[in-house]
Amino acid sequence: MIKVRLKRLLAAQGKTYYWLSQQTDVDHTVYLRLGKGQTESVMFRAMEGACIALGCTPNDLFEFVPGLISKPKAEKASKKRGKK
């Protein structure tokens, strides 16, 4: 599983998703969804912009956790509706 550390990086620097979007010209909702783990893909433009603005590398933005597998989106949705 890949864990996103964007929220933690922003907090450590006293920055917001809105600030990051202003620095990168990427809509703040892209970063908001990424920070909340509500996305299954990442635009390279957004990732590169975040790295430049925050003075970090992709390794700082993401953490690989071996052994944990992300559940497919369809499976998550069916659980919310109470189906197996």
Secondary structure of residue 56 in the 3-state scheme: coil
pLDDT at residue 80, as a whole number: 59
**How many whole angstroms separate alpha carbon 28 and alpha carbon 36?**
12
pTM for the predicted model, two decimal places: 0.76
Binned at pLDDT 50, 70 and 90, residue 61 comes out as: very high
pLDDT at site 83: 55
Please, which pLDDT band fits residue 56 given cuts at 50, 70 and 90? Answer: very high
Whole-angstrom distance, CA of residue 11 vs CA of residue 57: 16
pLDDT greater than 90 at residue 58: yes
pLDDT of residue 46: 96
2-80: CATH number: 1.10.260.40
